[in-house]
Amino acid sequence: MTDETRNPQVDQFIADHIDSVPHLEALLLLWNSRPKTWSAEQMARSLYVRPEQAARILEGLLQRDLVVADSADPNRYSYSAASAQRNELMQAVDATYRREIVRISSLIHSTASAGVRDFARAFRFTKEKE
């Protein structure tokens, strides 16, 4: 895939909102199965991770407003259809990941998580103002 055919919004979305490949795959499972709700246990089985890890992934996606908790059962999650623009972006993310799984996985692995970036910022030295 050449740089001209890449969607920069997809790469930016992944860099800004996705911490790991399981995060992306969880989001895409929720996107592709909407409006179905998922429990952490169901997600764990689909992602081949422990239920505790799946619960952390779902909570992370919830904190980023990418998924919503079910009002009847807050331990079940579904994709958050926040806007038509986000839906179009998710469609592009899904198509790009299917087509370029190695590149997208490499992008995720090369991008530090938001938590790591925030931690690093806390130790950044700045020049004192006089």
Contact 61, 25 (CB under 8 A): no
Model confidence, pTM: 0.80
Give the structural domain span for 57.
7-117
CA dihedral (81, 12, 46, 73) positive or negative: negative
pLDDT of residue 123: 59
pLDDT digits (tens, 9 = 90+) for 79-123: 988 789 999 999 999 999 999 999 999 989 987 555 555 555 455
The mean predicted confidence, pLDDT, of the chain is 87
Q: How far apart are CA 53 and CA 47, in angstroms?
A: 10
Q: How far apart are CA 5 and CA 2, in angstroms?
A: 6
Contact 22, 113 (CB under 8 A): no
Query: 77 pairs with which residues across the strands?
Result: 38, 69
Q: Specify if 42 maps to a domain.
A: yes
Q: Specify if 84 maps to a domain.
A: yes
The better pLDDT of the pair 111, 61 is held by 61
Q: Specify if 25 maps to a domain.
A: yes
- The separation between the first and the last C-alpha atoms of the chain, rounded to the nearest angstrom, is 50
The better pLDDT of the pair 41, 6 is held by 41
Q: How far apart are CA 75 and CA 93, in angstroms?
A: 26
pLDDT of residue 81: 83
Q: Specify if 59 maps to a domain.
A: yes
Q: Specify if 128 maps to a domain.
A: no
The better pLDDT of the pair 124, 53 is held by 53
Q: Specify if 98 maps to a domain.
A: yes
Q: How far apart are CA 86 and CA 79, in angstroms?
A: 11
pLDDT of residue 113: 54
* Structural domains in the chain (count): 1
CATH number of the domain where residue 73 is located:
1.10.10.10
Do you know the residue count of the chain? 130
pLDDT of residue 110: 86
